[in-house]
Amino acid sequence: MEGSSSLQQVSCRAKGGAPGFKVAILGAAGGIGQPLAMLMKMNPLVSVLHLYDVVNSPGVTADISHMDTGAVVISLSLSLWGHVLLYNVNHGLVRGFLGQSQLEDALIGMDLVIIPAGVPRKPGMTRDDLFNINAGIVKTLCEGITKCCPDAIVNLISNPVNSTVPIAAEVFKKAGTYDPKRLLGVTMLDVVRANTFVAEVMGLDPREVDVPVVGGHAGVTILPLLSQVKPPCSFTPEETDYLTSRIQNGGTEVVEDFLYLFLSCSLLGSAWLYLQPIRISELPSITEEHNTLSCLTDDSNFFVHMSEAKAGAGSATLSMAYAAVKFADACLRGLRGDASVIQCAFVASQVTELPFFASKVRLGRTGIDEIYPLGPLNVYERVGLEKAKKELAESIQKGVSFIKK
Ligand code: NAD
Ligand code: LMR
């Protein structure tokens, strides 16, 4: 009878002792969580993957567990109480955990905890508008970490990152388990976007481009250092304005219904003069266009890039999952002892006078081994840095006060 195996004793044995790290994803059933779980299941450095959420984690776990990646199948017993497994799914390499009562089980013994739990933005919102809901979620999850895996590396994705990282730090301090080397706010998506947009403008392969993005993860706090791009590139002032604005507004480009209007100076080949984003909803004649399209007007002097984007259905999920996996993989390679693993992240820092700042860090066996200084900045970047620091200081303080109060 179909399904009868759930009423019998079933035993599946582990094959070989696969080396690797234990990773938990908190918020695993969400828009980021699901593709992130899939990509982590494909990572050979992961031996155990725990998927925790307050909804739908059993289904996501069952789904992911059918992927024929990874080697370990842990002994599994299903019995008359087999239905219980629907709520605490154990599929060998991947295990699902549902609801607050299973948070601690999800966290025990983890080497790396990735947190994309929380609500995403809708059009018209800033990341800071998410504070009221996400601050409490991050606090609760971090309290679980202090109890169950205080030595784990924590990759915090939930927005507003500029405040949730200080919240996590305060929770850990309160519990006496804070190690600033192990707490990292994930700003990798800004780097991924910067590499892509710079590659587009310069006609390069994005995989060969490396743009340091420092500061934080919201608006003007996202500061791409275009003077330090590798391979070395020189940008016109218009290109610098366009790239900086596009990188700072990358998240909004996905959330909102923006139209980007550029005036192309066709006589000078590829130079573009960036004007400004305009809401598609404010232009009724073209609201029927969906997704993304590019078109040239008759005289080729205007380049119009339209994106109706997710328009209420959330924020970046797929590019974020990609970026999160790139970052988590760097953390795991650091834990394994690989040399020269360097990525940008929002961390406790003395690079500026602020207590937290995103910059390049070297990852090692105990988390962050080294935080690099910003390096030489040009005038444009120095002005951007001052703006970034002003906003960052407020966001950091908001996070700290949330716990201290
Ligand atoms: P989503 O709504 O699709 O998924 C969030 C998931 O979190 C849901 O499955 C939800 O059930 C779960 N959740 C809610 N409360 C929880 C709790 N207490 N414990 C565990 N899980 C809980 O949202 P999303 O698109 O996946 O985005 C998640 C977060 O990531 C948002 O805050 C978003 O702003 C942020 N984000 C950050 C970056 C970045 O670069 N750092 C990029 C994109 C999105
Ligand atoms: C992003 O940069 O895509 C995320 O921070 C999500 C958002 O709200 O923009």
**What would the DSSP string read from start to end of 135-150?**
HHHHHHHHHHHHHH-T
Is 69 a domain residue? yes
Tell me the pLDDT band of 258, cut-offs 50, 70 and 90: low
> Are both 106 and 168 inside the same structural domain?
yes
Please give the angle made by the CA atoms of 249, 222 and 279, to the nearest 5 degrees: 15
pTM of this prediction?
0.86
In this structure, what token pair is assigned to residue 281?
Answer: 């909803």
Residue closest via CA to ligand 2's atom 5 equals: 251
Q: Bridge-partner residues for 358, per DSSP? A: 215, 346
Q: Find how far residue 130's CA is from the centre of its chain.
A: 15
**Rounded Cα distance, 310 and 190, in Å:** 19
**Rounded Cα distance, 276 and 263, in Å:** 10
Is 144 a domain residue? yes
> Are both 36 and 133 inside the same structural domain?
yes
Please give the angle made by the CA atoms of 362, 368 and 369, to the nearest 5 degrees: 65
Tell me the pLDDT band of 221, cut-offs 50, 70 and 90: very high
Q: Which of 394, 389, 305, 316 is nearest to 351 (CA)?
A: 389
Instruction: Say whether pLDDT at 397 is over 80.
Output: yes
CATH assignment at residue 63: 3.40.50.720
Q: Of all atoms in ligand 2, which is nearest to the CA of residue 217?
A: 5
Asked whether 26 lines ligand 1 (CB < 6 A), one says yes
Residue closest via CA to ligand 2's atom 1 equals: 251
Ligand 1, pocket-test mutation among 52, 133, 157, 248, most atoms within 8 A of CB: 157
> Are both 332 and 384 inside the same structural domain?
yes
- Per-residue pLDDT reduced to its tens digit, 260-296: 555 444 444 555 454 455 555 444 443 333 333 333 3
C-beta separation of 279 from 258 below 8 A? yes
Asked whether 164 lines ligand 2 (CB < 6 A), one says no
Distance 329 CA to ligand 1 centre (A): 20
Mean pLDDT of the chain: 84
**Rounded Cα distance, 137 and 292, in Å:** 34
Distance 293 CA to ligand 2 centre (A): 21
Is 9 a domain residue? no
Query: Among 137, 152, 186, where does a domain finish?
Result: 186
Distance 300 CA to ligand 1 centre (A): 41
What crossing angle do the helices spanning 161-175 and 379-404 adopt, rounded to 10°?
40
Is 66 a domain residue? yes
**Cα torsion through 342, 343, 348, 351, rounded to 10:** 80
Annotation marks residue 217 as catalytic: yes
Peptide bond into 160 cis (omega under 30): yes
Q: What is the mean pLDDT of residues 165-192?
A: 98
**Rounded Cα distance, 267 and 252, in Å:** 32
Residue closest via CA to ligand 2's atom 4 equals: 251
> Are both 233 and 149 inside the same structural domain?
no
Ligand 1, pocket-test mutation among 190, 315, 344, 346, most atoms within 8 A of CB: 315
Let me know how many helices (H) and strands (E) the chain has, helices first: 10, 16
Asked whether 158 lines ligand 1 (CB < 6 A), one says yes
Instruction: Say whether pLDDT at 298 is over 50.
Output: no
Range of the domain at 385: 187-267+304-404
For residue 161, the ligand closest to its alpha carbon is 1
What local confidence, expressed as pLDDT, does residue 405 receive? 82
Q: What is the mean pLDDT of residues 224-231?
A: 98
**Rounded Cα distance, 219 and 354, in Å:** 17
Please give the angle made by the CA atoms of 200, 202 and 208, to the nearest 5 degrees: 80
Distance 158 CA to ligand 1 centre (A): 6
What local confidence, expressed as pLDDT, does residue 259 receive? 57
Query: Among 156, 186, 216, where does a domain finish?
Result: 186
Q: Which of 24, 42, 113, 45 is nearest to 333 (CA)?
A: 45
> Are both 315 and 375 inside the same structural domain?
yes
Residue closest via CA to ligand 1's atom 31 equals: 120
Sign of CA dihedral 388, 390, 391, 393: positive
Q: Bridge-partner residues for 306, per DSSP? A: 259, 293
Tell me the pLDDT band of 354, cut-offs 50, 70 and 90: very high
**Rounded Cα distance, 358 and 354, in Å:** 10
Is 274 a domain residue? no
Is 282 a domain residue? no
> Are both 136 and 248 inside the same structural domain?
no
Phi then psi dihedrals of residue 256, to 5 deg: -100, 180
Asked whether 53 lines ligand 1 (CB < 6 A), one says yes
**Rounded Cα distance, 308 and 289, in Å:** 8
112-115/21-26 β-pairing: parallel
> Are both 207 and 165 inside the same structural domain?
no
Percent of the residues in the chain that have a pLDDT greater than 90, as a whole number: 71
For residue 309, the ligand closest to its alpha carbon is 2
> Are both 246 and 350 inside the same structural domain?
yes
Q: How many domains does the chain have?
A: 2
> Are both 329 and 252 inside the same structural domain?
yes
What local confidence, expressed as pLDDT, does residue 69 receive? 84
> Are both 157 and 226 inside the same structural domain?
no
For 286-303, b where at least 16 C-beta lie within 10 A, e where not — what string? eeeeeeeeeeeeeeeeeb
- Per-residue pLDDT reduced to its tens digit, 92-117: 589 999 999 999 999 999 999 999 99
> Are both 241 and 103 inside the same structural domain?
no
**Rounded Cα distance, 169 and 401, in Å:** 12
Is 82 a domain residue? no
CATH assignment at residue 202: 3.90.110.10
Query: Among 153, 186, 219, where does a domain finish?
Result: 186
Asked whether 347 lines ligand 1 (CB < 6 A), one says no
What local confidence, expressed as pLDDT, does residue 58 receive? 95
Q: What is the mean pLDDT of residues 309-316?
A: 78
Q: Of all atoms in ligand 1, which is nearest to the CA of residue 185?
A: 41
Which residue in the list 50, 66, 91, 217 is annotated as catalytic?
217
Is 326 a domain residue? yes
For residue 107, the ligand closest to its alpha carbon is 1
Q: Which of 282, 329, 273, 279 is nearest to 306 (CA)?
A: 279
> Are both 330 and 230 inside the same structural domain?
yes
Asked whether 213 lines ligand 1 (CB < 6 A), one says no
C-beta separation of 29 from 64 below 8 A? no
Would the ipTM clear 0.90, i.e. be above it? yes
What local confidence, expressed as pLDDT, does residue 276 receive? 52
Distance 248 CA to ligand 2 centre (A): 10
Cβ contacts of 42 within 8 Å, gap of 6 or more: 67, 69
In this structure, what token pair is assigned to residue 391?
Answer: 């906003």
Instruction: Say whether pLDDT at 348 is over 90.
Output: yes
